Each structure stands twice: as structure tokens, then as C-alpha cells.
Amino acid sequence: MYLLKEDFLDFPIGEFPYDKNHSAMGEYHYVNYPGYRGRWNDPVCNHAYNGQGASWIITEYDGKHFMEQMRIRNDKPHRTFPTLTSGDRFWKDYELEVKMRMFTTKWGTAGIGFCCQNSMNLLVLVFEEKCLRLEYRHKEEIEIIGSVPFDYNCDDYYVLKVNVNGDHVVCFVDGKQYFDVHTEYAKQGGKVAITASVPAQFEYVNVTTDDENAVKIDNARLEYKRSCEEAQKKYPKMKLVKKIDLKDFGTGRQVRFGHLLGNNEYQIVLAQCQKRVNRDAYGTISCLTAIDLDGNVLWQHGEPTTNTELGTISADMPMQIYDIDGDGFDEVITAKNFEVLILDGRTGEVKKRAKSPLSTAEEDGTIIGVPDKVYAFDRINPDGMRICNFRGLDKPRDILIKDRYCRVYALNDNLEVMWHFQSDKNTGHFPFAIDINGDGHDELLVGYNMLDCHGKKIWTMPVSEDHIDEIVPGMFVSGPNKGKRYFACVAGKEGFIISDFEGNLVKKEGIGHAQRVSIANYCPDKEGYEMVVVNFWGHQGIIYFYDSEGQPLWEMENEMNGNLLTPVNWTGDGQDFILTNADPEQGGLLDGNGIQVVKFPDDGHPTLCAEAVNLYGDARDEIVTWDYNSMYIYTQDDSPKDDVYAPVKYPEFNASNYRGEYSYPKEFMDKIING
């Protein structure tokens, strides 16, 4: 019987759906780009495609439809293979047959994929370098299982066929057998794929299996579904407690939570933004709106708009909510129009202001990551902001601002510049401040460089390319590194990095463009705290799960972007769950085995953004979802509860779209800080 019979006739002539801006929105927004996909998924996104249109197009000739791949390079941001996948990870023991043609034979690769658990974990039968090759692709490694000369050309169509039975793989081209091998990689089973790194045309894709095996596949899929449903019965469900109309002040993930009115209740600040000069390189806040949890507007700073295109920005905005002057009321620390501002949280009135630092002309040629090799303004346009304690005071009162990728500035609470550092390596998005030597003063991990409290470099990691997107501190509790404190970092094409507090690399794994990371007690039956990572640019949306020593346990691809990996204290019993996104079918909360344990209700809630925040009642987290129009807040349907677990998490006054997340018992966090 057919698992898939595809001739692409159901597809309209045109482009396969994709992000027309090739933007970073999907790093932390869940965006479902419109268009007909049939039974196919495109797991590849790439900022290098900007201005180049779609990777895949549907064409017609002589009454037939063809799926065509149109990319001509695959070296950025790392080696990437444009791919369309179909099926699911439960497919096993099938025959795959594809008719295809390469439009160029001078370079590149084209063919079919099978036993595809994700787009970076699959077997492929491809034409490459005038050979027919059987390869296993996993993460950034490629293992050639078999290779024979093959004089393919640009005019002929070739029928590629693969039979998979357990670990046995037999490969054919135009009915002639070329490979007959046994490989453990085939036993994993999985989706099928068409893949090419040069222009190529695919006429049909057929996948067949016998009736008995089709039943086994269905049963495996149903068994996973039953496992999720049984788990979901054990845990509290989501209950909607608030629905807020965001009127004309809605935004993407530029939202902060704090106590503007000096009481135990939370208030929310939403920032609308605009882009200047070059995409997201110089984003700026256009309007701040403060509301309470009933949606009542407390104040606004700036002019709101319903033009969501202005707010569609994939960068951090400079704003935090924090009681920086110790008066018992949180202030809003922000920047606008080349000024750093401290706003009264109750009224939005300016309490303090200062011009942002000057960008000297002498620095222009040496500024990392600046478009057009010149800084666009005389003064710094702050890209992000965090609260630090460089002076070793009784509480943090220092403000760190930065430009996009090169310079950081430490300001005191009077907005005076104490020091500034221009990096020789990309600073990344959100430097991490922590007292690593116990002297009461924060040090600062700026990209790959560690600075002391005066902005002087202490050490640098032996990594030079790309930049760190997120940083989480941790400590090994067993194994050869027991007791060693570390930073878990995701660093783009440099992959997943674990460094100790002296800058020595403990682990460096190429998983594609590593984007997000969190550490929490995802597996209470295991020692220590587990790590979870997801990638984005290139082959996106693959979730990698590691034990407390950084050893891989499992990986999965949910075919969605916006995977947040936020640890959620949902049950209050010491176990954390993983928030992916707010999709009602495939999103929600996962446990440490990859089981969907809590689903979002299918109630029309917004799915663009999601966050876990402890807003009400007991110490457990609520889930907040929002888009440009509305905000929903969910709590547990059995809340509140007394005496529940209250972990230490990333402080609310240092919110960022580029912060790694953690959830630890207080005593464990104290060990990380104090050694």
C-alpha cells in the first residue's frame, strides 16, 4: 500500500511557502507562513537567501507538475542541504521511488533522503561529484557508506529507488542495483525527503509498504499518542484566567513583567518598535505601554500604532523593569532617540535621562557586525540592556547597554558611563553578568570574552567565529567534571559549547546553527540538571536533549519554529517541563522524554509569542501567550496549591529574547555563584 503517492498536481504553480523576508522572527516567535504545503515540510531557513525568493517552486510542463529546488549554494551559515520532507518518524521498512533530474552537474548534490528522523539525521542516496553515493548525514558530519562512479547529465531523468527492511538497504537507479548494505542507521526509520544543493527537478515521489507493516507504523504512532494522552491525565491542564485586548499597543516578544505599582501584583510593559537604516541592525522603541493584568492602561510613552509591520522585529529592545533607585517601585529603564531613560513605573514620567554614548569616527572601521562598515549614527543606538552589579553594591544598580555586535557600555544609576569595551570578537546579543570569583562584583561574559568589573579582559574562549546567542550557568554534579562550574552556550554555526569558568572548552558540538538553550530538572530520576538546545538557521527546529554532563540522550524535530525551550514549573513538585510554543496541536509542554504532557486548549488563543511567568497565587508558573491583538494568561486548573517547589530562575529584571533559561533550587544556584 502507499504511504505517500505524490505527483505535485495538487500544488498550484508558484512558490512553496516560505518566509519572504528570510528573517529571524522564527527564533522566538511561532510563525506559520501562509500557503499550501500538502504533505510536505521545508525545514530549512537561511538569512543568506534574503532577496533570492523561494527555495522550492512548483512548475508545469506537458501537463505534469514538478517540484524544483532553486538554491545554488549551501555553505552559509554552515553546510546546509535544501530539503523537503514528508511522513513522520514512525515510518519504517518501506520502498521509496523518486523520478528526478539535475539542471546542473558542475557542482553540488541532489537526490533522495530516507530513514529521516530529522533533516540533520537521515540516510541519502545522491548524485555528487559524478558519483552515486549512499551517505549518512548526522548533525554536521557526513559518512559515505558507499560510492560508485555515475556519469549523470542535466538532460535525463533518473528513477532512484530504495528498499529499507530493518538494517538492510538496497539502492537502485533506473532499475539497476548499485548498493546492498546493512547499516544500523536504517533501523531508526523515519520520514522521506527530496534534497538538492543545486537546481533540480522532482517529478514524483512514491512510498509503499506492505499492509502488515502499515499496521505496525499506525500502531507506533498511536502508541506515542497514547503515551502523551496518559501523561496529560496526570498533570494539571491549562485554565484560561485572563484575556486582554491589546487594542493599538500590541507587539511581538518585546514584553516585560514587573511591579510598577510597588505591590505584589504584576504589571506589564509592551514595547512597539521601528527599524532604521538596515533591517534589524538599528531597531528603536517607538512606544511603551504599561498595563495591569486586566488590560487597563497605566501610561504610555510614545505614540502607539496598529501597523504591526513596524513591530515585526527580530532583535532585543533596550528596556528592563527594575527598582534601580530602591524606592519600592519598579522603574522602567529604556532608551529612545539616542537617550537612556529611567521612567517612573507608576506614571511613565522621566526621572533621569542622559545622552547615549558617542560613537567615534575612529572606531568605524573596526566595529564588528556593522552594516556597510560604518556606524550609521554619531551616538550609540542601544540594542539591548541588562542590570548588573559591577560596583559591588548591596543590590545591582548598574546598567549595561550595547550596540548590535561590538561595544558594551557600563553606566551607573546616574546614567554616567563608568567604562566601555570594544570587542575583538562578536559580542552576541545578551552578555551574561555573574560574580565568578566571589568578590561581590559582577564579571561579564561578552560573547567569547570574560571581562572583570572594570571592563578589562580576563580570558577568552578559543572560538572566534559567529556569536553567542544565549548563555546559561551551571555546575556538573557527577562524572569527571564533578563540581566544575560552567557556561552552556549556543553559538550559531559554532554549535553547542560548554566552557568552564576559566574559558576552557569542555564540549563543542556542531548541531547546525545553535540558537536556544535551557537547563533544568527535566528528568527527576536522573542526577543533576538536563540541558536542551534547539537550532534555527539552516536546518531549523531540531531539539537536542542532553544529560547533566552534556551527553546526548535524544533529538526530535517538531517541524515548527519558535521553539522557546523555557523551563516551566507547572506541577510544583520539583520537575520542570519544556515550553516549545503555543500551537494547540504540537506545541505546549514536553517532559524530559520528549512526551507532550500539557497541551494548549484549542480556544483561539494567540500563538505568536509565549512565556512562562509566575504571576498568580502559588509558586508555580503561569503561561502567557500573545500577538499584536490580544494576550491570554493560563494557570493550572488545580491552582493554587500550598508549599509547592519555588525554583530560582532567570531574574525578571533581566528579560531578553536572547537569554538562556535555567531553573534550579536556591542552594544549587548558590553553589554556582559561590563555588
What radius of gyration, in Å, describes the C-alpha atoms of the chain? 26
φ, ψ for residue 42, nearest 5 deg: -100, 105
In the chain the first and final C-alpha atoms are separated, in Å, by: 61
Q: Which amino acid is at 244?
A: I
Contacts of 206 (CB under 8 A, 6+ apart): 2, 4, 5, 6, 96, 97, 98
pLDDT band at 489 (very low <50, low <70, confident <90, very high): very high
Judged by DSSP in three states, 151 sits in: coil
Where exactly are the structural domains of the chain?
2-233
454: its cell numbers: 572594570
**pTM exceeds cut of 0.85:** yes
Cα–Cα distance for residue pair 504/502, rounded to 1 Å: 6
Residues 251-288 have pLDDT tens digits of: 999 999 999 999 989 999 999 999 999 888 899 999 99
Q: Which amino acid is at 295?
A: G
pLDDT of residue 48: 87
391: Cα within 13 Å, side-chain hemisphere: 16
Instruction: Over range 513-534, report the average pLDDT.
Output: 97
Residues 58/16, Cβ–Cβ less than 8 Å: yes
Contacts of 480 (CB under 8 A, 6+ apart): none
Residues 547-592 have pLDDT tens digits of: 999 999 999 999 999 999 999 999 999 999 999 999 999 999 999 9
Strands 589-590 and 596-598: antiparallel
Cα–Cα distance for residue pair 646/530, rounded to 1 Å: 18
DSSP letters of 298-360?
Answer: EEEEE---S-HHHH---S--SEEEE-SS-SSS-EEEEEETTEEEEE-TTT--EEEEEEPPB--
Topology classification of domain 2-233: Jelly Rolls (2.60.120)
pLDDT of residue 370: 87
12: its cell numbers: 498550484
Judged by DSSP in three states, 187 sits in: helix
pLDDT band at 361 (very low <50, low <70, confident <90, very high): low
Judged by DSSP in three states, 228 sits in: helix
